[in-house]
Amino acid sequence: MVLAMPTLDLATDPNKVLLESHSMFAKASAETLDKILAAGRPLLAEKNKLLFLQDDPAEYFYLVVSGWVKLFRETLDGDEAVIDVVNTGHLVGASAVVDDGQHSASATVVATSNLISFPVRVLEDAMTQDPALALGMLTSIAKQRRKQSREIEGLTLQNASQRIGCFLLRLLPATAEGSHTLHLPYDKSLIAARLGMKSETFSRGLARLRKDADIGVKGASVTISDVYFLANYVCSACSNDFPCEDLR
């Protein structure tokens, strides 16, 4: 269901604020932002809705206003590698403009989400006209690249419970200290896939953290009794120290 354009004053449009806060658009001109926003269409997507498939020619990219979207790649024999799971404020599929106009991964919605879809065309055009936007794109892709480097490192050097602990730490605000309680953001089985392990292994890994890193688990809510104690357990197998800014 496609609705009419938002009638809000653009200056206070929350979507504009959200888009502006993304590193890709941070330095773009006001005109660029308005042009892109004007081409956006709200989209309410239910769980399991497929946004696009890897290697599809990219027609649209999406801004996540609320909800969660999974990015993944599928192998010939049916396995899938989860590249990322993203929420509010993240863009999905926008990097197709630098990937020969093709999506480099598939995307599905994993929890009912409010999205805004934008034609990739509009972004392409805007990029040729606003050099600040091209630079923003550069900043944004560079950030993704850094994040992926850490991802690779984690996969090769950290074991299951360390990866889980690392994931938990990244859910906390960067300034966190002492004790904290948090809520797992999506299904444990999806977290497991996101971390490159099976759900049974995730379950056992969490149990292990309960013993070794003094955390408490009750359903989807996790209590960390001492952030630095957990960080110490997790980050010894990691090249950057807590609170690992790059990975957020």
Residues that bind a copy of itself (CB under 8 A): 54, 73-77, 79, 81, 83, 95, 98-99, 104-105, 131, 134-135, 137-139, 141-142, 144-146, 148-149, 151-153, 155-157, 196, 235-239, 241
Which residue of 74, 177, 200, 246 would you call a contact of DNA, by CB under 7 A?
Answer: 200
Q: Does 170 bind DNA (CB under 7 A)?
A: no
Nearer to DNA by C-beta: 2 or 76? Answer: 76
Nearest residue (CB) to a copy of itself, 43 versus 92: 92
Which partner in DNA, a copy of itself, none is near 30 (CB below 5 to 8 A by kind)? Answer: none
Write out the two tokens for 39. 């081409």
Q: Is 187 in the site for DNA (CB under 7 A)?
A: yes
The DSSP code sequence of the chain is -PPPPP-S-GGG-HHHHHHHTSTTTTTS-HHHHHHHHHT-EEEEE-TT-EEE-TT-B--EEEEEEEEEEEEEEE-TTS-EEEEEEE-TT-EESGGGGGTTTB-SSEEEEEEEEEEEEEEHHHHHHHHHH-HHHHHHHHHHHHHHHHHHHHHHHHHHH--HHHHHHHHHHHHS-TT--S-EEEE-SS-HHHHHHHTTS-HHHHHHHHHHHHHHS-EEEETTEEEES-HHHHHHHHHTTSSS-SS-GGG-
**At closest approach, how far in Å is the CB of 183 from a copy of itself?**
26
- Nearer to a copy of itself among residue 46 and residue 80 (C-beta): 80
Q: Which does 141 bind (CB under 5 to 8 A by kind): DNA, a copy of itself, none?
A: a copy of itself
Indicate the residue among 37 and 206 with the shorter CB distance to DNA: 206
**Least distance to a copy of itself from the beta carbon of 135, Å?**
6
Q: Which lies closer to DNA via its Cβ, residue 23 or residue 223?
A: 223
Instruction: Report the length, in residues, of the chain.
Output: 248
Which residues form the interface with DNA (CB under 7 A)? Answer: 159-161, 187-189, 196-207, 217-219
